[in-house]
Amino acid sequence: MDFSMDSVRTSPLFRLVGSDHNLPEIRQLLARGEDPNRQRYGGSTPLHDALKSPEENIGVVLELINAGANVNLSTHYRGLTPLHIAVIHRKWRAVDVLIESGASVNAKDIHGNTILHSAITITMLFEPPNLKVFWPDEWIIEKLLKHEDIDFNLVDEEGDTPLMYAIKSQQENIAFKLLRNNANPNICNKASETPLHVAFAEKKVNSVELQLLINGASIYSVDKNGQTPLDILMKNGLDRRTNEWVMLILKVIAFKYNITEILKQKLERIPRLSQFFNKCVDEFIK
């Protein structure tokens, strides 16, 4: 396959796919045998380029797919499939069409990001003040979560799951959706962190902490620094959380988890917490 710049200049499909207004010309080219899977430098095909267009060019997308465009072909530069690009550019109708046409919902880019990872970390640029913030597309995420083949627990090159992405980017609502769909809260990344480690390390209270515990997140998992999630909470998080919130966390742990003597000894460093926790444990035993 020819990836030279000359091959791009002689392939008019690439300059036409941005708009449905060009459909007559596109159809003529395809009818004459123009290859819908021609890849230019970087590996983009006409379908990849069509999905980057700011226009609602679903007609072009359908035309290319009907002509045999490969919906799972990745670019060379970042390993992006057409579905990755449609998700990143929030093209709802294209997402629907691609999935219906057999696009893999579990495809990964060169960094191990799945379609779901990408959907969670979509950003929006607000100008001014040129502020880029996470702005996930919940419609797309719901669409992915309902797909029978979706794997919620695939990891990127750092070992992070979509659930970890949601927690790191403080997208609580997305984390709740993943947990409701049985995302595994105990998958460790390459730093041996679980989602609960990361949640307890946050500077502000987030209700994901409680949901992780309710969904069986391990309180004994140890990260690369030898710390459990509770070690992190007691070391860095107590002064950032209300007493009532900490008590609620301890109550859930007392009622839901197997309690070790080591855990009780750690809590003894803070007498008020130790006393409350032991009372909860005693009530549960009774």
Domain check: are 139 and 256 in the same one? no
Distance (Å, whole) CA 181 – CA 249: 22
Considering the domain architecture, whether residues 179 and 99 belong to the same structural domain is answered as no
pLDDT at position 274 is 92
CA gap 139, 55 in Å, rounded = 19
Amino acid type, 195 = P
Is 24 part of a structural domain of the chain?
A: yes
Q: Which helix (H) or strand (E) element contains residue 68?
A: none
How many independent structural domains does the chain possess?
2
Q: What is the pLDDT along the chain (286 residues), one digit of tens a residue?
A: 444 444 445 579 999 999 999 999 999 999 999 999 999 888 999 999 999 999 999 999 999 999 999 999 999 989 999 999 999 999 999 999 999 999 999 999 999 999 999 999 886 555 555 556 667 788 999 999 999 999 999 999 999 999 999 999 889 999 999 999 999 999 999 999 999 999 999 888 789 999 999 999 999 999 999 999 999 999 877 888 888 999 999 999 999 999 999 999 999 989 998 999 999 988 877 6
Cross-strand bridge partners of residue 132 = 125
Asked if residue 258 belongs to a domain, the reply is yes
- Residues 32, 142 within the same domain: yes
**At 81, which CATH number?**
1.25.40.20
What H or E segment, with its residue span, contains residue 39?
Answer: none
Q: Please provide the distance, in angstroms rounded to a whole number, between the alpha carbons at the two ends of the chain.
A: 73
Predicted pLDDT at 5 = 45
Give yes or no: residues 141 and 59 share one domain: yes
Judgement on whether residues 98 and 37 belong to the same structural domain of the protein: yes
The whole domain housing 193 covers 152-285
For 59-103, what is each residue's pLDDT tens digit? Answer: 999 999 999 999 999 999 899 999 999 999 999 999 999 999 999
Q: What is the pLDDT of residue 123?
A: 64
Which tokens belong to 126?
């607000």
